[in-house]
Structure 1
Amino acid sequence: MIVVYHQNNRVTKVVSGNNDAIFFKKNKSIASVLLSLANDFPELPIVWCHELMENNLNIEGLTTFFHHNKLMLSYSTADTSFLGNRIGFVEESPFIKVNKQCTYPTWLMSSEVGVIHASVLILMGTRVTENSNFDYFLNSVAKVGMILGLLCYSEPRLLLKNAPQPNPQKANLFVLFRFVKQHYKKRWIVLLFLNLLVFEKRFSILPLLYSLFFKSRKKKALNFDFIPVQSSLTIVDKKTIDVIIPTIGRKQYLYDVLQDLAKQSILPINVIVIEQNPQPDSVSELDYLTTEKWPFTIKHFFTHQAGACNARNLALSHVESEWVFLNDDDNRFASDIIEKAFEKAEQYGIEVITTAYLQENEKQDYIQIHQSGIFGSGNSFIKKTALKEVVFDKALEFGYGEDTDFGMQLRNKGFDVIYFPDLRITHLKASMGGFRIKVKKLWENELVQPKPSPTMMYVFLKHYTNQQLLCYKLVSFFKLLKKESFSNYGVFFKEFEKKWKRSQYWANKL
């Protein structure tokens, strides 16, 4: 590897993994030196580190957690990122509120310490031009690269304990607007302006106009496929897997799912079926579980308690194998999906996989392997060790957001969710399911009905920044405003505020 030490926006020294000095041009920016080194050493990882942290750089550990070439790792000892909390005004993804205690997926990079492979830098250098501000350059590389399949993380293991904290650089509004203009659709600079005006009372017209002079970095096509990926980690050992399936009123659909599982090239050890029927005198209708022979053990549990969160938690408590396949009772999939999921886990060194999940005849828009901002409880593969202290939150039962919450719990335990477009599960969207059970909400008799759903508000309050919540509020406001007549704007605004406050009230009750 190559290690670049820097201070005061200039490189101070460059050394090899053996600590041999390497020549560099001292009058160049840090980004320029990195790009030059990448061309000189295209097969090596390139590390950057603030000079104050030289003695705390975890050189020995790097080879463990930088385990394949399509990674970008960074860490900041500061509480906030270079772009600050206001970046939440333009992005609602889970990548903004970073958990600094674990490996966490984010494109928010820091100049303090980090590592990237030279081959990635060479490719990104064709789109992301050199910048005198090293933090801006790193965040730009990660933001552009993450969409294209570069896996980006905040990695606290880059530093040993008790590392000193350099004075962090912070982007001003001109830099923030420029970044938004170069990395998001144009409408987001307007929304950033409006968010600042409404929620911070800042009239940021000059930063907005300044940003118009910069071109987008999203348009030029890049292909990461030529960069090989083969993790050095051992993620799959026994190749054993259990499947969990909550079901309610879908006897034939479930039978078809079991038939697909019976044809797998790698068979599951256990299929855990949680059958729900809230009718007091009801009994199981799944006679074929015992009348037919299956090439796996079926663990069948019948309950009168309806609810997908409860059912999945019950199933997860009975998982025995190394991996678990979170399935649904109206899915269809190919006979090699488990085998291919294991192959992807080994190749990328990951513990959580989510698949393409399309309805019949639905077009597949996302065709790039990437860090997913969503999680699917009916189409995901998870290593059992990732599930410690992770459950489906029963506060979200019969509402919305339980998948999002579960995915956020995984990320906050250090387990990223990676989407693989060539792993495909067809979701038949059968007409009968858990939501046909009418459940009375706590707020159903409220004179002012909460909006958005208190369960969605609950997820936002639990996992996202205040700026992300406010952005969601403003976007929701404009979406609903379009449906109102001009003469009703005053009444609409008052009603919107009342509904929002009731949503917050019930979310806090949950």
Structure 2
Amino acid sequence: MIIICHHNNKVESIIAYESSAYLDVCNESIAQNIVRLARLFPDDLLFWYHKDCQEDINWEALPELFNHKKILLSYGGTTNYIPSEIGYVDESLFVNPDKESVYPTWQMSSLVGGIYGGTLNALEADKLIDTNFDYFLCSLAKIGMPHGLLCYNEPQLLKKITNRSSGEAGIYSLFKFVKEHYRARWILLLFVNLLIYERRFPVLACLYTVFFKRKKPDVKQLDKIQMELKTKSRVSHSLDVIIPTIGRKVFLYDVLKDLSKQTIIPKKVIIVEQNPLEGSTSELDYLEKESWPFQIRHLFTHRTGACNARNQALQHVEQEWVFFADDDIRFEKDFLETAFKQIGKTGNSAFTICCLRKGDKPVSANIFQWTTFGSGCSIVKREAITDLRFDDRYEHGFGEDADFGMQLRNKGCDILYLPSPELLHLKAPVGGFRTEVMLEWNNDRIKPKPSPTVMLFKLRYNTKEQLRSYKTTLFLKFYKHQEHKHPVKYCNNFKKSWERSIYWANILRAGK
């Protein structure tokens, strides 16, 4: 490990941890020193900290925290370097990390953190150098995350939560960051949103961006860095499967057959069959007529809804892992075996697996940090979801899977996307999400826009700036689909629909 101590935006000392030898400090920026050290020590962890944090560093925890080489950790105290206005261009959950728990984010900090030298080289960090170390780190994470670099806010780097901060970027740095890491049109949207919602007119900051271009380093070398744990532990293969189903008898049978042919057989399959018709009974006769190599727990209910069905199933989970499965997927006989091999590489507890319709192209060939949660294509450790439930305020709407994912992240459990193995999603024409359900707002004279369940999710998890940006983009998106193009009339109608969406979302919010 190479330890870099800095103060006043300059490197004060560099120490080789194992030998306690002091290394030369170059009269350059912190970022330039880090990049130089990465070339000299590609196999070593490069660990930096601000001089004021020296007494609080949790040295004993570092070997476990940096358990593989495809990781970037930092902790920045109470604030983010890139300010909250970034929400006007970025609606992702990575913008505003929970500062008190481990949380996926590209908001890195110079206060304390680390990355392996070889990983820094693979990201072509020399092309990202900036005089401000915080800017350099945020740039590194923003570019690396989509390609499989796991980036986290990690408070365990220090022995205690601190109120210290490494500062916040100004308006010029914000516009520069947007220009270098997002499409050019987002510069205009940032400017417009600041003008509309904050009555600010940052025309000079906007013009300042003409001196910069988008950063696109070649990160293909990152693929060659394997996500192999240094301290490996055997991953248990004990697994329960939960499947909510409605009106898909034939499709569910195929799923059960695929499970029965697995090289790793599940211990139990929990099926929640829904049929809203009074007096109806189960149509799944093959559950009793045929012999299955796993226990089947069959629950029947007249109440429809995927949230309720999955919550019922979760009460019967007993094994170490849970496979959340749809009732219209297909997979190869080595699906679970391959999944557990991938899981064993990461040490993580929650995974959404590549699930494609026929003809679809994969999102990525890399394991990376996923932005949502696939409630029909995920494998999660039972201990991570012991006290979690699918929020029934989203029932028959949109957002229950994304909300469940946020519950996991707020517990400190990241969700990784597995590009392999793959699931085939048949998108069967009947099922629970296609049952006609009358929601309270369906008869509202003013139709809420967006859906109140979508608004509920955004009110709960988005920043103020992200919600405003969503409003702007939704306004622009739907304008071209209007029959009446009169801008004033459209603006008034949109405002009313937005307000009704917030009204119903707040009613849903108060319901729990």
**Short-chain TM bin:** over 0.9
Runs of 5+ in structure 1 lacking a partner? Answer: none
C-alpha distance in 2, partners of 1:376/1:236?
25
Q: Indicate if the aligned counterparts of 1:355 and 1:419 stay in contact, CA closer than 8 A.
A: yes
What are the within-5 Å matches in structure 2 for residues 13-28 of structure 1? 13-18=13-18, 20-28=20-28
Instruction: Output the CA distance in 2 between the equivalents of 1:308 and 1:442.
Output: 18
Establish whether residue 462 from structure 1 lines up as the match of residue 479 from structure 2.
no
Aligned to 2:49: 49
Q: Which one of 347, 353, 356 corresponds to residue 355 of structure 1?
A: 353
Question: What is the rounded CA distance, in whole Å, between the counterparts of 1:127 and 1:475 in structure 2?
Answer: 35
Cα drift, residue 137 of structure 1 = 0.3
Residue 319 (str. 1) matches residue 304 (str. 2): no
Q: Give the structure 1 partner of residue 69 of structure 2.
A: 69
CA contact (8 A) 1:107 1:143 kept: yes
Alignment partners' CA distance in 1, 2:158 and 2:235 = 29
How many residues are paired up?
508
Q: Deviations over 1:322-370 (max 9, x none)?
A: 1000001000011111111111111011111111111122233433321
Distance change >3 Å, CA 487–CA 240, structure 1 → 2: closer
1:176-203 superposed Cα distances (whole Å, 9 cap, x missing partner):
1111111111111111111111111111
Structure 1 stretch 359-368 or stretch 478-487: which is displaced more? 478-487
Report deviation, 1:125.
Answer: 3.2
Provide the C-alpha distance between the structure 2 equivalents of 1:403 and 1:238, rounded to a whole number of angstroms.
Answer: 25
Q: Are residues 1:35 and 2:35 paired?
A: yes
SS of equivalent residue, structure 1 residue 81: coil
Deviates more, 1:380-389 or 1:365-374: 365-374
Partner of 1:384: 382
Which residue matches 1:399? 397
In structure 2, the residue matched to 1:272 is 270
* SS across alignment from 1:260: helix
Aligned to 2:92: 93
Partner of 1:287: 285
User: What letter matches 2:223 in structure 1?
Assistant: D
Deviations 1:61-91 (A, max 9, x none): 011121100000011112x310110111111
Moved more, 33-42 or 480-489: 480-489
Separation in structure 2 between the aligned mates of residue 136 and residue 363 of structure 1, nearest angstrom: 34
CA RMSD of aligned residues (A): 1.5
1:26 shift after superposition: 4.0
Output the CA distance in 1 between the equivalents of 2:507 and 2:233: 40
Partners of 1:35 and 1:122 within 8 A in 2: yes
Equivalent in the alignment of 2:82: 83
Give the equivalent residue in structure 2 for 1:141.
Answer: 140
Which deviates more, 91-100 or 315-324?
91-100
Please tell me whether residue 3 in structure 1 is matched to residue 27 in structure 2.
no
| Shift of residue 163, structure 1, vs aligned partner | 4.2
User: How far off its partner does 1:487 sit?
Assistant: 5.4
Q: Does the CA contact (< 8 Å) of 2:324 and 2:376 recur in 1? A: yes
More displaced 10-residue stretch of structure 1: 353-362 or 265-274: 353-362
Residue 339 of structure 1 corresponds to: 337
Distance 1:174 1:98 in 2: 23
- Mapped to 2, the partners of 1:201 and 1:442 lie a distance apart of 37
* Equivalent residue number for residue 437 of structure 1: 435
Aligned residue for 2:250, secondary structure, equals helix
SS at match of 1:467: helix
Give per-residue Cα distances to partners, 1:143-165, cap 9 Å, x unaligned: 01111110000001000126462
Q: CA offsets, 1:93-131, max 9 Å, x none?
A: 111121112110001101100010111111223563321
Give the alignment partner of residue 172 of structure 1, picking from 170, 174, 178. 170
Classify the secondary structure of the residue corresponding to 2:401. helix
Q: Which aligned pairs between 1:85-234 and structure 2 lie closer than 5 A?
A: 85-126=84-125, 128-161=127-160, 163=162, 165-166=164-165, 168-218=166-216, 220-232=218-230
**137-146 or 420-429: bigger deviation:** 420-429
276 and 65 in structure 1: CA distance in 2 versus 1, 3 angstrom threshold: same
After superposition, give the CA deviation of every residue in 1:303-339 in whole Å (9 maximum; x if it has no partner). 1111100000111111110100000100001111111
Which shows bigger deviation, 66-75 or 434-443?
A: 434-443
Q: How big is the shift at 1:222?
A: 3.0
**Distance across 2 between alignment mates of 1:487 and 1:301:** 51
- Counterparts of 1:292-311 in structure 2, within 5 Å, are 292-311=290-309
Q: 1:15 to 1:221 in 2, by over 3 A?
A: closer
Measured in 1, the distance between the counterparts of 2:347 and 2:438 equals: 44
Task: For 1:182 and 1:289, locate their aligned partners in 2 and report how far apart those are by CA, in whole Å.
Answer: 57
Deviation at 1:15, TM superposition (A): 1.6
Amino acid of the residue matched to residue 340 of structure 2?
F
Kept after mapping to 1: 8 A contact 2:245/2:252: yes
Q: CA deviation at 1:292?
A: 0.4
Pick closer, same or farther for the CA change 1:160–1:365 going to 2, 3 Å: closer
Corresponding position of 1:471? 469
Query: Contact conserved, 2:235 with 2:344, CA < 8 A, in 1?
Result: no
Rounded Cα–Cα distance in structure 2 between residues aligned with 1:393 and 1:120: 39
Pick closer, same or farther for the CA change 1:383–1:309 going to 2, 3 Å: same
User: What is the CA deviation profile of residues 449-485 of structure 1, one whole-angstrom value per residue up to 9, with x for unaligned ones?
Assistant: 1110000000001111111111110000001122347
Structure 2 residue matching 1:14: 3-state secondary structure: strand
Give the 3 Å change call, closer, same or farther, for CA 233–396 of structure 1 in structure 2.
farther
Unaligned segments of structure 2, at least 5 residues: none
CA distance in 2: counterparts of 1:292 and 1:7, whole angstroms: 70
The 3-state SS of whatever aligns with 1:264 is: coil
Distance 1:212 1:456 in 2: 36
- Is the partner of 2:47 in helix, strand or coil? strand
> Is the 1:49–1:113 Cα contact (8 Å) retained in structure 2?
yes
Aligned-partner Cα distance in 2 for 1:487–1:277: 44
- Residue type matched to 2:11 in 1? V
Identity %: 46
Give the Cα–Cα distance (whole angstroms) in 2 for the partners of residues 264 and 275 of structure 1.
23
1:257 corresponds to 2:271: no
Q: How far has the Cα of 1:422 moved from its partner? A: 2.2
For 2:161 and 2:104, the matched residues in 1 are separated by 23
Tell me which amino acid in the other structure corresponds to 2:298. Answer: H
In 1, distance between residues paired with 2:249 and 2:350? 29
Asked if the contact 1:35–1:125 (Cα under 8 Å) also holds between the matched residues in 2, the reply is no
In structure 2, C-alpha distance between the alignment counterparts of 1:470 and 1:319, rounded to whole Å: 40
Question: Kindly tell me: are residues 14 and 221 of structure 1, through their superposed partners in 2, closer, same or farther at Cα, counting changes over 3 Å?
Answer: closer
**In structure 2, what residue type is equivalent to 1:400?**
F
